[in-house]
Amino acid sequence: MAVTPVQPQPVLSPLTRYAIFLTLVLTPGREQDVRDALGDISGTVRAVGFRAQEGGLSCVTGLGAEFWDRAFTAPRPAGLHPFVPLDGPVHSAPSTPGDLFFHIRAQRMDLCFELALRLTQSLEGLARVVDEVHGFRYGETRDLLGFVDGTENPAGVIASQAALTGPEDRFPGSSIVIVQRYDHDLAAWNELSVEQQEAAFGRHKLSDIEFPDEDKAPDSHLALNVIEEPDGTERKILRDNMPFGSVGERTFGTYFIGYAADVDTTEQMLRNMFLGNGDVTHDRILDFSTARTGALFFVPSQDALDDPDLLDAPLPDADGSGAARPVAGAPAQISDALTLQQPRPAAAPAAADADADDADGDDAAQADPAASGTAADSSLGIGGLRGRPQH
């Protein structure tokens, strides 16, 4: 008896010019209503995106730990818990409320806006927005600190392995996403010389070439966020960070968003940044970038989002043993890793790879899917951890 593969949400969709990040909290007592509404989300995405398929509209939906506890009877998925606040010797990362999260992406802001509007209208009285950030790609894929954003995001099969759980997982095709909104002190940052800014990153500003390891300052962003295990292997996460800003309010920042199959990878990066490593007390970038929010969400497969009952009763395999279904596009099943990077039909056009390793996703790899994945590391890229997860 054939087993139908699991379809992930469009976590691996192409990077886009624009995004809207929405964090919502639920109205007490309306958890079941919100659970029922989850199945309507993909239809709303298709309805908005079908009229402008070239816009590449997609949406990833995440569920918070407290929402899960109130709306589902099954135990939480592995890795789902409230965001762990970090109180370092110099800087802190707060934990802020969040029951539901929408990561809306498109090549046009009007599509992002319409989908955000329709989703929030459908949840009127059930949930309210507590954080809303409108992101945009800036210049030649640089962040507002002036550095190229997203050098080495993983691509293809490596991206799916980094961001999505495998067929052996209780919830195959799922992910854990951590989001943070960072505000930049551009006035203080711009008082630094270019050489001082480069030292803070561990990378040349103009060329985007990474410093040799021996030349990196111990508190540089790359020194703390690219960590090699003795065997030289590397843990990765998938990012789609975006700049945001308001000229009138003089607010400028980076929205960090990192997807991972193993959330400990992302959390270790953040611990290094805020708690330090060895004699280093913190990431130098934090002297100019302040974390204002912090939340963690479970991203179920598209199948489970469309039918939330699957989260309470994962489908058994053919022999009734309860084994997880295979993930569509898992390396053992297909050779074309790009299959996983396509949103559901009618929601967006065909997808492409974005290549990177230790920073947020970049637009260069997005604009040219055939390019060799040598994007750029970046501000608050929260770079790739080298070393397989240790359990």
What does 242-309 look like in DSSP terms, one character per residue? Answer: EEEEETTTTEEEEEEEEEESSHHHHHHHHHHHHH-BTTB-S-GGGGTEEE---EEEEE--HHHHHSTH
Closest residue by Cα to residue 15 from 379, 369, 261, 374: 369
Residue 349 pLDDT: 39
pLDDT tens, residue by residue, 176-192: 999 999 999 999 999 99
Any domain includes 378: no
Does residue 90 belong to any structural domain of this protein?
A: yes
Average pLDDT, the chain: 83
102 token code pair: 């929408």
Q: Are 304 and 68 in contact (CB under 8 A)?
A: no
* Residue 376 domain-assigned (yes or no): no
For 316-327, what is the mean pLDDT?
A: 54
E strand or H helix that includes residue 364: helix 363-367
Q: What is the pLDDT of residues 232-288, one digit of tens each?
A: 777 889 999 999 999 999 999 999 999 999 999 999 999 999 999 989 999 999 999
Q: Residues 331-359: what's their mean pLDDT? A: 37
Is residue 193 included in any domain, yes or no?
A: yes
In a domain, 277, yes or no: yes
The C-alpha atoms of residue 80 and residue 249 are separated, in whole angstroms, by 35
Q: Count of domains in the chain?
A: 1
pLDDT score recorded for residue 352: 37
Q: Which of 128-137, 242-251, 307-316 has the lowest mean pLDDT?
A: 307-316
Query: Chain-centre distance of CA 8, in angstroms?
Result: 14
Q: Which residues are catalytic?
A: 149
Residue 228 reports pLDDT greater than 60 = yes
Q: Which secondary-structure segment (H or E) carries 178?
A: strand 175-184
- Residue 230: pLDDT over 80: no
Mean pLDDT of 351-367: 39
Q: Does 307 reside within a domain?
A: yes
Model confidence band, residue 324 (pLDDT cutoffs 50, 70, 90): low
Tell me the C-alpha distance between 281 and 274, whole Å.
7
pTM (2 d.p.) = 0.83
- In angstroms, the first-to-last Cα distance of the chain is 34
| Domain hosting residue 17, numbered range | 10-344+353-367
Please report, rounded to a whole number, the percentage of residues in the chain having pLDDT higher than 70: 77
The backbone region for 139, taken as left when phi is positive above 0, alpha when psi lies in -120 to 50, beta otherwise, is: left
Using 50, 70 and 90 to split pLDDT, how confident is the model at 301? very high
With respect to residue 390, please indicate whether it lies within any of the assigned structural domains: no
In a domain? residue 381: no
d(CA 268, CA 274): 10
How long, in residues, is the chain? 391
